[in-house]
Amino acid sequence: MKTWKDIANTQPIVTKMITNMIKRNRVAHAYLFQGQKGTGKEEMSLLLAKSIFCQFKEEGEPCQTCKDCIRITSGNHPDVHKLIPDGASIKKEQILHLQKEFTYTGLESNQKVYIIVDADKMTTNAANRLLKFLEEPNKKTTAILLTANGEAMLDTIRSRCQIMSLQPLNSEQMQGKLQEQGITEANARLFAALTQQIDEANLLNQDEWFAQARKLVVQLTGMLQTNSEEVLLFVQKQWMLHFANREQLQLGLDLLLLWYKDVMYTHIDKEESIIFIAYREEVEKGSMYWSNQDTTAILYSIMGAKKHLEQNVHPTLVMEQLTLQMQR
């Protein structure tokens, strides 16, 4: 379980701001934690909730062992509510249900905490509904909004929140920490590019599914160069079977992004930035096949595919269209 002391190692400024507020009993009625995936937004939101409810905290640090802390960790605290997107978005009905909860007295105290994950994915109607709570805050209610894209939030919502901007981890430091734990340089370099959470990186290191995902990326890029007429069949029969849901396919697209960035790094003589160092020869072959202009176009196509997935376009259609765009 993370503590404020742990988080201060990677987010010193935000941690100091929050712990000072807790010590002075000046917790805001609404926070917006904005930062890239892996910067610890959700961990910080749960830790803040613990700091609010824990009766045994010291210097703002929750005890982690009392009834309130344990139930928040397990997701079973009756007065801590977490809202996540329903499909591709957070809908008006979800906010209406949340507003209804606002009217009830807390089951064990008058304090309540609401955590809204991926708050930037609220529909316009949902965001406007949320404004009512933010405009008329209850002293005993704290809202915590989490987003990787703060600029996508309505200005009217941002202006009513205490904004906490989380800084991305230094990838070199992350890679070093992973290698200290026995992860190979090649794997540590890749994991540091995909996540900023050591625990998640360790899980990836032990995950046979991920190891196969990386092989499929290498196989797909190789087929595009040498056997392009079979690529669509490969995508249908192998790629889509392995990347079976939207989350997995997003990870597959992230790996493709990193691969083609490596091709770009080779073009501009920045080989020290290459991520797929275990496949340097294959990356170099790719740089001879795809021009700088080709590579740039493919990178934009992959980012477009990721956006289409978020917009609920059928995964197979997204991947087939991308495959056609990657073919010269």
The answer to whether residue 79 is domain-embedded is yes
Contact 133, 103 (CB under 8 A): no
The answer to whether residue 190 is domain-embedded is no
Among 114, 135, 165, the domain-final residue is 165
The answer to whether residue 239 is domain-embedded is yes
- pLDDT in the model for residue 95: 92
pTM: 0.62
Instruction: Mark 95-111 as b/e (b = at least 16 C-beta within 10 Å).
Output: beebeeebeeebeeeeb
- Asked whether residue 145 falls in the same domain as residue 287, the answer is no
CB atoms within 10 A of CB 232: 15
How many CA within 13 A on the CB side of residue 215?
8
Written as one string, the DSSP assignment of 39-105 is: S-HHHHHHHHHHHHH-SS-BTTB--SSSHHHHHHHHT--TTEEEE--BTTBB-HHHHHHHHHHHTSP
CATH code of 293's domain: 1.20.272
Among 165, 181, 199, the domain-final residue is 165
The answer to whether residue 310 is domain-embedded is yes
* 89 bridge partner residues: 86
Contact 41, 14 (CB under 8 A): no
The answer to whether residue 20 is domain-embedded is yes
- Asked whether residue 89 falls in the same domain as residue 237, the answer is no
| Rounded CA separation 66/177 (Å) | 31
Q: Note down the domain range covering 302.
A: 207-326
- Asked whether residue 261 falls in the same domain as residue 136, the answer is no
| Rounded CA separation 1/34 (Å) | 21
Q: What is the pLDDT along the chain (328 residues), one digit of tens a residue?
A: 689 998 998 899 999 999 999 999 999 999 999 987 768 899 999 999 999 999 999 988 999 999 999 999 999 999 999 999 998 899 999 999 988 877 776 666 778 999 999 999 999 999 999 998 888 767 688 999 999 888 889 999 999 999 999 987 778 878 888 898 899 999 999 999 998 777 788 899 999 999 999 999 999 999 999 998 899 999 999 999 999 999 999 999 999 999 999 999 999 999 899 999 999 999 999 999 999 999 999 999 999 999 999 998 999 999 999 999 998 6
- Asked whether residue 135 falls in the same domain as residue 217, the answer is no
Among 165, 195, 218, the domain-final residue is 165
- Asked whether residue 49 falls in the same domain as residue 100, the answer is yes
Length of the chain as a residue count = 328
The answer to whether residue 27 is domain-embedded is yes
Q: Sort strands 80-83 and 162-165 into parallel, antiparallel or unpaired.
A: unpaired
The answer to whether residue 240 is domain-embedded is yes
CB atoms within 10 A of CB 91: 18
- What is the tally of structural domains in the chain? 2
With H, G, I as helix, E, B as strand and everything else as coil, classify residue 31: strand
- Asked whether residue 12 falls in the same domain as residue 128, the answer is yes
